[in-house]
Amino acid sequence: MKKLIVVCLMAFGMLTNVTAQNKIGHINSDELLSDMPEADKADADLKQYQADLAQRYQDMMKDLSTKDSLFVKDSMKLSSGMKDIRRNELFELYQKAQGFQQQAQDMYQQQAQKLLAPIRAKALDAIKAVAKENGYAYVIDNAQGVLLVSPTGDDLLPLVKKKLGIKDTPASAPAKK
Say which DSSP state 28 is in: -
Report residues of the chain scoring pLDDT below 70.
Answer: 1-21, 153-154, 156, 169-177
For CA atoms 88, 90, 95, 99, give the dihedral sign.
positive
pLDDT at 129: 92
Torsion of CA 136, 138, 142, 144, to 10 degrees: 140
Q: Are 168 and 161 in contact (CB under 8 A)?
A: yes
Give 26-67 pLDDT, tens digit per residue. Answer: 999 998 988 998 999 999 999 999 999 999 999 999 999 998
> Given this model, what pLDDT does residue 10 score?
52
Angle between helices 80-133 and 37-74 (to 10 degrees): 170
- Residue 3 is which amino acid? K
Residue 166 is predicted with a pLDDT of 79
